[in-house]
Structure formats: structure tokens, C-alpha cells
Structure 1
Amino acid sequence: MHVVILAEFATASGGAEKVALESARGLAEAGVQVTYIQAIAGKADPFLNHAGITRIELALPDIWSLGPVRGAVAGLWHRTAARRLAAALVGLPAGITCLHLHQWTRTFSPAIMPVLFGHGAPVVATLHDYFLACPNGVYYRFDRGEPCGLRPMSGACLAAPCDPRSPLHKVVRVARTGLLGRALAGRPLHVVHVCDASLGRIGGMLGHLPLTHHRIDNPVRPIVGETADPARGDAIAYVGRLTREKGADLVAAAARKAGLKALFVGAGPLEDELRAMPGVEVMGWRTPEEVWAILRHRARALAAPSRWFETGPLTVYEALAAGLPVVASDRSGAAEKVRHGETGFVVPPDAEALVPAFTALRDDGRAAAMGRAARQRWAEAPLDLSAHARCLVALYGSIGAGHSAASHHTEPLPPRSAQPA
């Protein structure tokens, strides 16, 4: 089996890239031959250093480094990216099992879709967000600070001033979504959802495309070292970009009311606002090793109170694996992994709803028991690299068999109905 994984970066600068890297490593350790194609020039994570992984760098710039006009044009249809990808694919040996895409919004653009489908191998895309349907990618009204309820690309959607940056960015993103829809029209794309909520939500938005839907959890890289000790912690921890849609402000407000410190590992637009609040410590970005060294000794729980429909934030899974309770938003796909009242709490993304959960965790015995339960649940059904790789190998095998059978039909096949794997 030979699989091509495509991402725009080869470093774990975000959740999608991290999943791409870990998928590649897990597959290689399972004996699968992997070619990892990165679009943007830059260093590669050492995790890709494996005899079973071949890395190809297309040496493209991040489109937003080209300036606003050239960047917008490239974001709509990046011909250079398409040409370089086509040349890279031509150079690969015959018998590719499938092409698995993780990102296309920073440099690849919709222009790569005809290239991928023209190769002949089945095409798979993991949906880490909602960009396949929603222009701003997160199905969230930044102008209102609430999840969107509009049908993507409808008249109401086009008129909504929902973009986090500017109306001009909304115009560009709408155009890109339209071009993406055209590039995928009639082409049998397999999509992988990383949570049940995403499968139910975005699956209903894409009935106009011939998609086949599958469901596979994100992988979690093993956390080296001792398990967490939540009873010893003095703070509610938050890890990630400090934004309102991710609920960073809610953590600070609710922790203060619950009589606990709030510890933030990350940076973002709310950084100055958070630093000015009493009982708040902002540590900035840290390496993964530093993050978990800090959380093992400082955190009573990890909080992830996203206001938007987040799909599968990896920090939640990592916290549970490390034996740390989690307080998650009921809008987040990660809440599916939290047992309410046992391994943490699932609550609405509201400060008043978070306060009772944080207050309950002030009890040393309860915090310790939840941490043990989280670790035990993880041990019973780990979302580690080997488990993820087994799911992918099974998926690729079934897709390959179906693709081979379909290629022998003399008449075009109708679009397949969307069924979870």
C-alpha cells in the first residue's frame, strides 16, 4: 500500500498539520509506504523522519506573503501550485492507493482538485473545519459572536458580514468556495469527519456534491512522562489561540468567580485583555513538551469552551490521555470524548455555566477521581497513532477495492450515497 498525504505545512503549526504529520508517521509504522507532499517551503517536523516516509516539498510561498492582491488571486486559483503538484505526482511510481488531502486554503487552492482527480487514484480529504461548504471555514458569525445558522452560499450567507477580517476577505472567500464547488462537481470525493457532530452538520450542507462520508477520530501522539496530578493543580488551564470564538475570555471570567487561577498557554488577539485581568497568567506559546510539563503540575483541568462548532481539538484528547479532567463546550466535537461528571464536564459556552464546573473541581478528591477516570477511559480505547493507522488502512483498502471495481464499468457511475464507514 502506497499513500500520498498532502498538506500545506510539514510542521505542527495547527491541528490539521498535526493530524497530517501523525497520520503519516502512524501509517509508516504500520508498514505503509507514505509520500508526504508539503506545499509551503519550510522545515519539516522530525516526526517525519522515518524510513517509510518520503517527503516532497513544492517550495511554494504562503499566499498571504505575496501581498493582498496577489495573495487573493492565488487563493482563488493558484496555477503554480497546481503545476508543481502535477509534476510531483507524475514522478511517483505507479500503483498509488489513494491521495489524502488535509489542507488547501493557504496555498494549494481549488486549482489542485482537477490535478488530484486527474491522477487516477481515489481522493480522500479530512474535514478539519467547514471550508468545504462555509466561506469563512468555521460556520460562525464573527459579527455577532455566535454560530451561524444560514445555509452556506445562500443569498443570506452571501449578504452576511460574518468574516473575521473584512468584507473584502468575505468576497474572496465566497469566490473561492464557489470555485471549489465547481472543481469538485461530479468528482467522487471521500471525506473523513473527525467527530460525529461534523458528520451530521456538514454532511447536510453538501448534498449537491457526490461525496462519500467516513468517520475516523483524530490521532493523539503519546505524551511522554508521568500522568497529570489534577489535585495538586492551582489553575484551570487553556491551551491554544487566545480568541473569543474559542472562549478564552470565558475561562478567565469563570475561573475568577470559582476562586481559581486561569492559566493560558498560547497567544492571540485577547492576550492584552487577559493579562489585565486578576488571577490570570498568560505564558505564550510553548513546545508540546513544555506544555505538558506545565499542565501536569499546574492544571486542575483543561477548559475548551468554544463558542463555534469546533470539530476535534487535539488538546482535549491529549489532556484526557494524560489524566487531566476536561471542561468542554457542548458545541465542540471533542465533547463527545468527555464523560460528563466522570472525566470532566460538558457545558454550554457561557461563563455562568462554567462556574459550577470549575467550582466542583476545587475539591481535591473529585479532581483526582476525574483524572483517574480520564486516564482509564483512554487506556480502554486509546486514540493513538496505531489505532488511527488501522482505521486509515481499512478505509484505504475499502476505497481502493471500490475504485478498482468502478474503473471496470463502461458506463459512468451515478454518485454514491453518503454512508459513514
Structure 2
Amino acid sequence: MHVVIVAEFAAASGGAEKVAVESARALAEAGAEVTYIQAVAGPADPLLAHPRLRRIGLDLPDVWSLPALRGALGGIWNGEAAARLASVLDALPQPPDCLHLHQFTRALSPAVLPVLLGRAVPLVLTLHDYALACPNGVYYRFDRAEPCALRPMSGACLAAACDPKSRLHKAVRLGRAAALRIAVGRARLEVVHVCDGSLKRMDAIAGGYRLRHHRIDNPVRVARQAPAEPARGDAAVYVGRLTVEKGADLVAEAARRAGLPALFVGAGPLEARLRAQGAEVLGWTSPAELETILRSRARVVCAPSRWDETGPLTVYEALAQGIPVVASRRSGAAEKVRDGVGGYVVEPEVDALAGALSALKDDGTTARFGRAAYDAYWRAPLTLSAHARALLALYGRLVDEHNMRQCETELSTPASIVAP
């Protein structure tokens, strides 16, 4: 099978890109031929170096790096992206059996949807957030610091000052959302959800689309080894973008109240504020460095998202290492945390988070939770091979359905009658 993966980046600058890259590698390792189309010019993860994996760049700019007007127009509809993608697909030496789109909001824009939907092969779209339905992508009221309850693109949604930047940015995102609906039209989209919460939520808010839902966990590239010893760790660790909606500020204050050091791996707008609060901020690290940090420093990993996050991958990676997790009820990854056994599932509030961290100051509790987390994870691990098998099974079903429809169409079409 030849699978074409379309993503905006080829290096892991966030969870969606990491999943796209690791998914491509997993498919290649499973025997598929993979073409990885990278929209934005930039570096490529070494994982994309594989004999059955070809990488092609569209050399597009990230719209956020462009002058305001040009970036806004490109974010709504990037005709150049559509043209370059179509040209690359036309020039492939082997036609694809299936197309898989991971992101489109930074360079590709909704303009690529007609190109992909117009190919005579199935198209799959992984939903790493809620950008298919929600203009700001995360179904979150940044003006109120709470999840949104409005129907996307309703009058109330249009009027809400919910954007993290400004009303002008909201207007651009509304334009993109409208363009997306036009681009998709009445086509049925095959969408992959990475958690149960995403599936339920999108089913409720994605009015105007014809969706068929599929559920496949994100892959986790963690080799099984002896569990970590979190009771020897000293810090409450947070990994990811340092933003309010992801709850980074909650970790700093809750750790202070619990009497634990707070250690942040990542970067973002809250960095200076966290440092001023006395937290240790390391910035982004390599996967190998992160594993060392988790196994040597982490007493607990925190994921206190205020928004209804579909991930994050860090939760799975911590559980695989045998490190307790304190996760927000709004995080999709909390579905993998056994509350009161391998960690705690709490409301994204300082008091609740501080209470959980205080309980994990006890060495016996921490050691017991860590071992329980490790055992539970490895009973049904989210390995790359399992992820690839699930994807290939989905692709196979969709290809079979597509071929069946083609046969039915041919059989129902009257044969041409040629006069003697």
C-alpha cells in the first residue's frame, strides 16, 4: 500500500507534528510505501529517513511569519498551496492508495481540501484539535478562561471575543472556518479521533459536515525498560507549551503550595512569569534528554489543561516509564490515567492540583502509583507497531469500500452501443 501523509511540518514542534512523523515512520516499518509531504520549509526529523519513506517539500511559508494582510489572506485560502500540492501529487511515480491529512491551519489552508477530496482515493483526516468545527481551533473561550459552550459559527460564536490574540484575528479565523465549510461541501470526511472525548465532542459540534468517525490512539515511541523510580524524583514536571490554556501556571502555584519544585520542559508566553515564580524552565529538549529528565527528576508529571485537549502525548510517555500522572479531567489523555491508582484525575484548579501533588509527597504512595501506572500501560501499550496496524486496517477498509463503489458505478452504467 502507498500512503501519502500531508502535514505542515516535518519536525516535532508540537504534538500534531510529532504524531504525523512517528505515524509515517511506523507505517514504513510496517511495510507500507510512504510519501510524506511537508508544507512549510524547514528541518526534517531523522525518523523520516527510511528506505520506504520519501519526503517531499512544498516550500511554503508559515502564514504567521508573513506580513499581516498577506498572512491573513493565506490563512483563509492559499491558492499557491493547493497548486503546489496538486503538482506534487500528479508527479508521484506511484499513485497513492490513501491520503492522510494531519494539519492545514499554518500554511496549507482549506484550499487543499478540494485537491485531496478530488483524488480518486480515500482521504483520512486526523483531528488533533477542533479546527474542523471551531474557528480558534481549541473550542475554548480565551476571554473567560473556560471551555466554550457555543455552537461553532452560530451568531453567538461570531460575536464572542474568544480569540487568544484579538478580534481581528478572530475575524480571520472566522473567514478560514467559512472557507473550510465551502471547501468540504457535502463530501463525507473520514476523521480519526485520538481520544474518546474528542469523538463525543466533535460529533456534537460539527454541524454542517458529514463525518464518519474512527478511533485510533496516538503512537508512543518509548522502548520498554525497567520502570523508573519516581519516589526518588524531586519535582513536579510539566512538558509542553507554556500557556494558560494548557495550565502551566497552575503547576507552578500548585507545586509551591505542595512544597515541591516545579520543573518545566518547553517554551511559550508564560516562560518569564514561571521563572519569576521560582520555577525551573529548561526549554525544549530532545526525546532522549526528556527521557533522562523524567527518569531522574520526575516525581509526578502534570497535565492540567483548561481546554478539552485531545492529548497530550507526555501523559502516555510518563505512564510508560512508570511515573504517576496528575491530569485534568478535560485532557483526553486522562482517559488512560487510573484515578487513585496510577495517578489522579482532577479539575484544572490550583487547590485540586495542589492536593494531588501533596499526596504524592509520600514515597510509598508515589512508588505504588508509579508501578501501577507502568503495569497498566504495558498491558495495552500504545506502540508504533500497534498504531500502524490500526491505520493500515482503516486504510484497507476504506480502499475496499472505494473499489466496491467504483464497481457498482461501472455495473450500473449502460455499455456503449457501437453501430456496425
Question: Normalization by structure 2: what TM-score?
Answer: 0.95
Q: Is the 8 A contact 1:265 1:283 kept in 2?
A: yes
Instruction: Give, in whole Å, the separation in 2 of the partners of 1:53 and 1:94.
Output: 13
For residue 79 of structure 2, what is the aligned residue in structure 1? 79
By how many angstroms is 1:407 displaced?
A: 2.4
Q: Is the 8 A contact 1:223 1:322 kept in 2?
A: no
Q: Structure 2 matches for 1:174-189, cutoff 5 A?
A: 174-189=174-189
Q: Structure 2 matches for 1:149-164, cutoff 5 A?
A: 149-164=149-164
CA 1:154–1:144: 2 relative to 1, 3 Å: same
Q: What secondary structure is seen at the aligned counterpart in 2 of 1:407?
A: helix
For residue 260 of structure 1, what is the aligned residue in structure 2? 260
For residue 392 of structure 2, what is the aligned residue in structure 1? 393
Instruction: Give, in whole Å, the separation in 1 of the partners of 2:115 and 2:295.
Output: 46
| Cα offsets for 1:13-47 (capped at 9, x unmatched) | 11111000011111111101101000111121110
Instruction: Give, in whole Å, the separation in 2 of the partners of 1:163 and 1:365.
Output: 44
Q: Is the 8 A contact 1:235 1:298 kept in 2?
A: yes
By how many angstroms is 1:226 displaced?
A: 5.6
Q: Is the 8 A contact 1:265 1:284 kept in 2?
A: yes
By how many angstroms is 1:223 displaced?
A: 4.7
Instruction: Give, in whole Å, the separation in 2 of the partners of 1:26 and 1:351.
Output: 38
**2:10 aligned partner, one-letter code:** A
For residue 376 of structure 2, what is the aligned residue in structure 1? 377
Question: Normalization by structure 1: what TM-score?
Answer: 0.95
| Cα offsets for 1:246-293 (capped at 9, x unmatched) | 111111111111121111111211112211224x21222222211221
List gaps (5 residues or longer) in structure 1: 412-421
Q: What secondary structure is seen at the aligned counterpart in 2 of 1:311?
A: coil
Instruction: Give, in whole Å, the separation in 2 of the partners of 1:58 and 1:19.
Output: 20
**1:320 aligned partner, one-letter code:** L
| Cα offsets for 1:128-182 (capped at 9, x unmatched) | 0000000000000101111100000000000000000111110000010011011
For residue 335 of structure 1, what is the aligned residue in structure 2? 334
Instruction: Give, in whole Å, the separation in 1 of the partners of 2:239 and 2:120.
Output: 41
Q: What secondary structure is seen at the aligned counterpart in 2 of 1:71?
A: helix
Say if 2:59 is the partner of 1:59: yes
Q: Is the 8 A contact 2:224 2:320 kept in 1?
A: no
**1:403 aligned partner, one-letter code:** H
Say if 2:19 is the partner of 1:19: yes
Q: Is the 8 A contact 2:151 2:205 kept in 1?
A: yes
Indicate the percent of aligned positions where both proteins have the same amino acid: 64
Instruction: Give, in whole Å, the separation in 1 of the partners of 2:96 and 2:210.
Output: 22
More off after superposition, 27-36 vs 251-260:
251-260
**1:157 aligned partner, one-letter code:** C
By how many angstroms is 1:224 displaced?
A: 7.7
Say if 2:97 is the partner of 1:106: no
Q: What secondary structure is seen at the aligned counterpart in 2 of 1:143?
A: coil
Q: What secondary structure is seen at the aligned counterpart in 1 of 2:54?
A: strand
**1:344 aligned partner, one-letter code:** G
For residue 130 of structure 2, what is the aligned residue in structure 1? 130
For residue 246 of structure 2, what is the aligned residue in structure 1? 246
**1:206 aligned partner, one-letter code:** A
Q: Is the 8 A contact 1:10 1:17 kept in 2?
A: yes
Q: Is the 8 A contact 1:89 1:119 kept in 2?
A: no
CA 1:61–1:224: 2 relative to 1, 3 Å: farther
| Cα offsets for 1:100-151 (capped at 9, x unmatched) | 0001000100100111111111110000000000000000010111110000
For residue 294 of structure 1, what is the aligned residue in structure 2? 293
Q: Is the 8 A contact 2:227 2:371 kept in 1?
A: no
Q: Is the 8 A contact 1:195 1:333 kept in 2?
A: yes
Q: Structure 2 matches for 1:346-357, cutoff 5 A?
A: 346-357=345-356
By how many angstroms is 1:4 displaced?
A: 0.4
Instruction: Give, in whole Å, the separation in 2 of the partners of 1:168 and 1:131.
Output: 18
For residue 277 of structure 2, what is the aligned residue in structure 1? 277
For residue 407 of structure 1, what is the aligned residue in structure 2? 406
Q: Is the 8 A contact 1:223 1:318 kept in 2?
A: no
Tell me the C-alpha RMSD between the 2 structures: 1.3
Q: Structure 2 matches for 1:307-322, cutoff 5 A?
A: 307-322=306-321
Q: What secondary structure is seen at the aligned counterpart in 1 of 2:12?
A: coil
Instruction: Give, in whole Å, the separation in 1 of the partners of 2:242 and 2:176.
Output: 27
Instruction: Give, in whole Å, the separation in 1 of the partners of 2:84 and 2:361.
Output: 55
Q: Is the 8 A contact 1:265 1:285 kept in 2?
A: yes
